[in-house]
Structures are given as C-alpha cells and as structure tokens.
Structure 1
Amino acid sequence: MHFRQERVDVAVVETGLGGALDATNVLREPLLTVVTSIGYDHQQHLGDTLELIAGEKAGILKAGAPFLCGEDDPAPLRVLAARSRKAGARMRGAPAPLKRIREDWGRGTQEAVTAGGTRLRVPLLGDAALRNAALVVAALEELNGRRLSFDMAAALAGIADALWPARFQVLDLGGGRRVVLDGAHNEAALSAFSQTWRRSPFSAQDPLVVIGVLADKDWERLADLAAPLAARFIATAPPSPRALDAERLA
C-alpha cells in the first residue's frame, strides 16, 4: 500500500531474514528475484548448512518471475536450481564478472568494465563490490526491454551514486590520517573485508584496529579472522544489549 500511495515505479525490496518466512513475500508478483550469495548467518533460524540456508533463501522465488543468482558454490547452487525449477522461476546463473581497471583507495572508489565494454564507476572498494555491481548490471539487462523500458546508460551511470556506509568506508581525518570503517558482522563479510584490507595500502601503515562484536555471533571465529589484520587492537563493546564483553573479546 505504501508503494502504491507513493506512486513508486520500481521498488528494490530486501528480505530481512532468510526468505521462506520473510515479510517481503506479501509481494506476490515481483518482476525479478535475486539471491546475491549464500553464507553463514542466523543459523538458529535458517539452518546450520549452506544447503539449508539456500533452501530458506529460495522461499522468495515466484512462478513466472526470473531468478538471478550470484552464488557459485556448487552445494547451495544445486538447491537453488532445484527450487527454481519447482517454483517455475527461470534461473540465470552468476553473471559475467566485471574487470577492475582502477582503484582509488583515498576516495574509496574503483572503476571497472563490463563484459560488453561499458565503463563503470563503483563507489565501493573490494571484489565483493564488483560482484554486486555485476549482479546489478545483470538485473538491469534482465528487466530492460522485457518487463520495463529505461535508458540503460543512465541506469548504469546511477551505480556511481550508490551509498553503502560502513562497507570499507574510507574517512579522511586530515593530516594524513584515515579511518577505514566496516560493519562486517559475519564470517563472509569479515572475510571479504580481510581480502580487501590485505590488498590495500593501509595494511602496511601500522594500523590500530578497534573491534566490537555481538555475543550471539560466532565471535571466536570472527576474532580468528580479524587477528592477522594488524599488530595493535582495541577491543570494545558495541552499544547493544547483545554486545560481547570487551574483556572477553580481548
């Protein structure tokens, strides 16, 4: 009702948790459904294997709505493929990757080229950002001329205006000082951050890492992943009733 009242042309609606029991299923006739990737999080609700989690995510699939999938792990991919056939949702696999041509670590941006030769500015750093941008390109290609009609060049240019705070966000404090802010809260997100961090010039500048986690996450695994990032750490507790005590984290 809100979208109708606001006269929304197209709404990009993200699930809150999983898919099968998510409130977004009130939208019965989506133009397109997308699963970006399958990783471990919320196992108490979604299951403790990637296959079970994939089955929950597949709950968003709808008959007649194309399904775009960015996951390439064979095990959960088999589940998603089987569920797409059962749902009558035509599945399109992982899109062609973007080729990185330039990174600007100071500004927190990168430039890439699509398989078709279109140059894109992506206002986020890291391989995960390029994979997500490739999914956006594939989604636009899927929709344009089939279910919607729009200026593809203008839509692709809009990627440059994307804003995702606290995702390898580089903050310039002046005087040569920078803060890299990231809200990674599960193994997949912290692994992606670590991969980008190791390639960055910041990793060689004697960084100080300030870290806090929630107690209901796999915090020991997260601590293991974070440990190689730097030689100096400050453990803290985020302002949440679910926060892990800083002394325990340290």
Structure 2
Amino acid sequence: MTDTTRSDALLQRMMAFHPKIIDLTLDRVHRLLAALDHPERRLPPVIHVAGTNGKGSTQAMIRAGIEAAGQRAHAYTSPHLAWFHERIRLAGELISEDALSALLDECIVANGGEEVTFFEITTCAALLAFARTPADFTLLEVGLGGRLDATNVVDQPRLTIITPVSIDHQQYLGETLPEIAGEKAGIIKRGVPCVVGPQDEAALSVIEARAARLGAPLLVHGQHWHVAVERGRMIFQDENGLLDLPLPNLPGPHQIQNAGAAVAALRHLGFGEEACEAAVSRAYWPARMQRLKHGPLVDSAPGVELWLDGGHNPAGGEAIAATLSAMAPRPTHAICGMLNTKDIGGYLRPLAPHLQSLHAVSIPGEANTLPAAVTAEAAQAAGIKASAATSVATALAEIAQDDPNARVLICGSLYLAGTVLRENG
C-alpha cells in the first residue's frame, strides 16, 4: 500500500464528529448528501446487499461475475481489514490515496461541523466517488442492519439481496430473529426484486410480509432457486434452467448458499453461464477461511497449515465448524481474539469438537477487545483446552513448538484478521 498518512489523519479527525460510533438514523446522511448535491441519485444501477453472514462473500462473487462479462462495478464494503481503501472500489480498482483524501476533505467541508458518525460520512464519500466515476453497476454492502443503515438511501436500486439472517448486534437491531429480520428487510423497496438466501422460517415470514406490502417480487432460496452439491459440482436451478458449475473457490460449505444467491442475482440481471461460473470460481474475499501461504507469520512456522477467518457470531462459528469437518483430518488449534460485544460462548461451542487447544489473545489497538484471559475462560467453559497468549506470533510459536505440523486457525474478529494481514504483509 502507498503512504496513507494523509487519509489516515482525515479519517482520525472524522472519528470525533459524533460522540457515538453507531447511532442508527438516516437524518444526518440525508442532510450531508443534500449538501453534496445528492450523489445517491446519480449512481450506476445499484445492487444492495444485507444479511447477518455472507454479505461480503456474496458481493465479491457478484462482482467477479460482472467483471468476467466485461462490465465494471463499483463496490462498497465494511469493515476494512488492513487499509480503509479496501472499502471503496471504483470500477474494479481500489480507490487511490489521492482520490480518497480529496473526497474526505470535500465531505468534511460539506458537513460544516455538524454531528455525523464515521460510517455515515465515509459512506457519503463513497457514494460521491461512485457518482463521478462511470461503471455498469454499484454494489453496496449494508454496514449494520439495513433499515437505518447509511447505505439505505437509494430509492430505486436495481436489485436487493438478503443473505441468511441470524442473531447478532442485538443492542442495535433487536433481541429476536423477527426483529432483526425486520431491520434487514428495510432495504426492500417498492417494486424492486429481492433475492433471498436460506432463512429461518421466522425471518422469512417477516421478509415476505414487507415484500408483499411493497409489491417487491421475491426470488427465494428453496422456492424460486435451488442450489446443491452433486458429485463435486455445484448444481444451481431456477426458472431459467439448470447450471452445472464448479464448487466455489471460497472454502466452506456455507459458501454454496452464498454462491447460490450470487448466481440467482446474476441470472436475474441477465448474465449468462460464463459470468455465473466466474462468480463461483474467481471471487476473492480475504479473511473468510483464507489459507495464508506467504509472509513472516507463515515463515515462522514452516510446517504449520495456517488459516485466517473473521467470523465472530454463533452462525460464523457454525460455518467454520462445518468447514473444518469437510477438511482432511489434522490436529487443529485456534488463536482467538474477540470483541466484548459478541456472544463468545455461542461462537465457540460449535468449534469445541474440532479444536485440540485455543490460545486467546487481546486484539491490538482495539478498545472493545475482550481481554485474552476472559476469552480463555470462555473457551474452557465451552470445553476447549485454553490459555492466554501475549500475541498471535507468540501463540503461533508455542503451537508450532508442541505440534510442528498442526493446522492453526486465527479467528474471532475481522479486527484481529486485519491486524494479522497487516503484520503478515
């Protein structure tokens, strides 16, 4: 990455524009977008993606499909892993340092000293960049929830997508699955088709009710499209017929359903088989069961098979457990760091049968990190042999010394994953 000193300083300033990190309302976003002359009204056709898990992977697959068809897509995603620039992709390319700094400056001036959260003002900056750069599509990933998320400002997207909904962020979205599904379904717009991934019945009924009120056609997994694995291939079927595709290149059984939603979206948009095949075979999405093969961490433990995953809620724990079940048997140890806002017991319980041990770490530089000792206690309560470590590197060295040919999974938070990717080059 080039020198990011200028954008880092501007982003740091923006952190102080509102006393809260998260304050869900659209009033401030609409005010700032008006001051910027409404870039949200001048975007290339928008595909808006919400859901608890799988949003980023599904978006990455759709982008791979669009680009394989010779078209260009803007993409907005959060959080970033190593560098903020990852959040804004302009017509296929990560935003440059100069362009990002200029945009942030412009948004700070337009904001005029008013209160605005970091996510709100940076989302406005992304929309401004997208409005000024030609592309065929705009892919917007919801930050949190949907109904009151800063991305939910486009009146007529081309398509909306809701990936699987599960319990997460209860302090903002509600305690029950129907309440959370109601927030996610807030991206559904009048008359705009919505692709719906596999859902619990309680969540699906809420989504269907909102779509019915708004006359929004639904393309629902298990009703309008089906996806399954047969003889090492991914078989997708909808009203347009059957596709025989390779398995997704993103590892894990849960990526089958994400790939299904991406293919359903591409088919609805009129893309052919070549784009659908590229969606499942060419997507790149780091820190989602990513095998680390190069870098200082890998070099420090040459016999170890090193994996990185940023999943952090109970559904994420279940997805990792299913992925480990499908892998060749190998002694597996975890290095885990989590935020104190997460359901750590719910995350770790599915992993317990698959782990020989867990080394707990605090997430460097993260105010809301769970202390390593607390994570270790929670792991022990889940039935995992656990201890605290001072860093990922220290934990990896200890594991490699005891078990030189182990599989090691660094997991628990996207913030920890970002730290690892930065340190590992």
Compute the TM-score of the two structures, normalised by the length of structure 1.
Answer: 0.87
Paired AA for residue 125 in structure 1: P
Q: Please give the secondary structure, in 2, of the residue aligned with 1:122.
A: coil
The answer as to whether partners of 1:112 and 1:121 remain within 8 angstroms in 2 is: yes
Alignment match, 2:310: 183
2:284 is the alignment partner of 1:154: no
Alignment pair present for 1:218 and 2:343: yes
One-letter amino acid of the counterpart of residue 36, structure 1: T
Q: Aligned match of 1:112 in 220, 234, 242?
A: 234
Deviation at residue 100 of structure 1 after TM alignment: 4.8
Cα separation, 1, equivalents of 2:273 and 2:350: 39
CA–CA distance in structure 1, aligned partners of residues 231 and 363 of structure 2: 37
Unpaired segments of 5 or more residues in structure 2?
Answer: 1-38, 40-128, 377-425
Counterpart code for 2:234: A
Q: Which residue identity lines up with residue 284 of structure 2 in the other structure?
A: L
Quick check: which has more Rg, 1 or 2? Answer: 2
Q: Distance in 2 between matches of 1:212 and 1:226?
A: 14
CA distance in 2, matches of 1:84, 1:117: 27
> Root-mean-square deviation (CA), in Å?
1.8
Richer in helix (by share): 2
1:64 to 191, 211, 228: 191
- Measure, in 1, the Cα distance between the counterparts of 2:151 and 2:230: 34
Distance 2:362 2:335 in 1: 10
Any conservation in 2 of the 1:114–1:120 contact (CA below 8 Å)?
Answer: no
86 and 26 in structure 1: CA distance in 2 versus 1, 3 angstrom threshold: same
Report deviation, 1:9: 1.0
- Which of 264, 269, 274 lines up with 1:143 in the alignment? 269
Displacement of 1:101: 3.8
Name the CA shift for 1:100/1:180 in 2 (closer, same or farther; >3 Å). farther
Aligned: 1:74 with 2:181 = no
For 2:204, give the aligned amino acid: L
Letter in 1 for 2:347: L
Q: CA deviation at 1:226?
A: 3.0
Structure 1: distance between partners of 2:167 and 2:145:
11
Per-residue deviation, residues 137-175 of structure 1 (Å, max 9, x unmatched): 11111111xxxxx5x133223312211111111223585
Residue identity matched to 2:151 = T
Aligned to 1:245, which of 368, 371, 374?
Answer: 371
**SS state of the match for residue 246, structure 2?**
strand
Q: Deviations over 1:176-201 (max 9, x none)?
A: 53112111111111111111112211
The CA distance in 1 between the partners of 2:370 and 2:144, in whole Å, is 22
Contact 2:313–2:346, Cα closer than 8 Å, also in 1: no
The match for 2:228 is: 98
- Post-superposition Cα deviations, 1:112-157, rounded to whole Å, max 9, x if no partner, equal 233313323521112210101011111111111xxxxx5x133223
Determine if contact 2:160/2:187 at 8 Å carries over to the other structure: yes
State, as a whole percentage, how many aligned pairs show the same letter. Answer: 35
Per-residue deviation, 1:212: 1.0
TM-score (norm 2): 0.52
CA-CA distance at 1:225 after TM superposition = 3.1
**Alignment match, 1:208:** 333
Higher relative contact order (CA 8 A, sep 6+): 2
